[in-house]
Amino acid sequence: MLIPKEVKFFDLFDKQAENLVLSADFYKKIIDEGAFTPENVRAMHEKEHYGDELTHTVINTLNETFITPFDREDIMALANHMDDILDAMYMITNRFALYKITNPSEPSKKLADILARATKSLQKAINTLRNKKSMKETLMQCVEINRLENEADVVRDEAISSLFEKEKDPIAIIKHKELYEEAENAVDFCEHTAAVIESILVKNN
């Protein structure tokens, strides 16, 4: 059923999704351990850089291809939104290091865990996207990502509420408020990716 170029896009998206899952697991690990060492920040930067390369490859392949498995703008959006997730992970890791935080708070750990789970659902959605028969499975993963995004919203809101209630040091508030918001943003980007997948399913049904 599929022509080679189509396979190419699906293979590239699978690679992006795999890189996302590996990066999110690593990200969760260093947040759990508070290990924002120069080596770990560099390793995260490399993962983000590899993601950039994959995104570039998708866009270049798109520019050289006439027939695509689904709309060109959806291919662009998928590649770019997955890239946004990785950029956010690197940005947050880097800020933890800049802020010299060595004991991330419980909400920060929870948000990293939610993100890791969201990327795993995203990977399943992406992996099943090439097979119309798995459409139900693909959709189920998108629903799960939406659920996780709501979960992240609640965690961030409670974390910010408690931060302003208990923390008296304004500099600590500046740091943690930003880290909570950026962590929730990363999960938002997963939801944006899921929205593109859902729209692809509707169009190609």
- Interface ranges with a second copy (CB under 8 A): 59-60, 63-64, 94, 98-100, 157, 160-161, 164-165, 170-171, 173-175, 177, 199, 202-203
State which residue, 116 or 155, has the beta carbon closest to a second copy: 155
How buried is residue 171: exposed, middle or buried, by Cβ count under 10 Å (0-12/13-18/19+)?
Answer: exposed
We find the least distance from the C-beta atom of residue 67 to a second copy, in angstroms, to be 16
State which residue, 67 or 171, has the beta carbon closest to a second copy: 171
State which residue, 26 or 99, has the beta carbon closest to a second copy: 99
We find the least distance from the C-beta atom of residue 203 to a second copy, in angstroms, to be 5
State which residue, 21 or 34, has the beta carbon closest to a second copy: 34
State which residue, 39 or 165, has the beta carbon closest to a second copy: 165
State which residue, 37 or 164, has the beta carbon closest to a second copy: 164
For the four alpha carbons of 27, 30, 33 and 36, in that order, the dihedral sign comes to: negative
CA atoms of 151 and 146, how far apart (whole Å): 9
CA atoms of 154 and 156, how far apart (whole Å): 5
We find the least distance from the C-beta atom of residue 11 to a second copy, in angstroms, to be 20
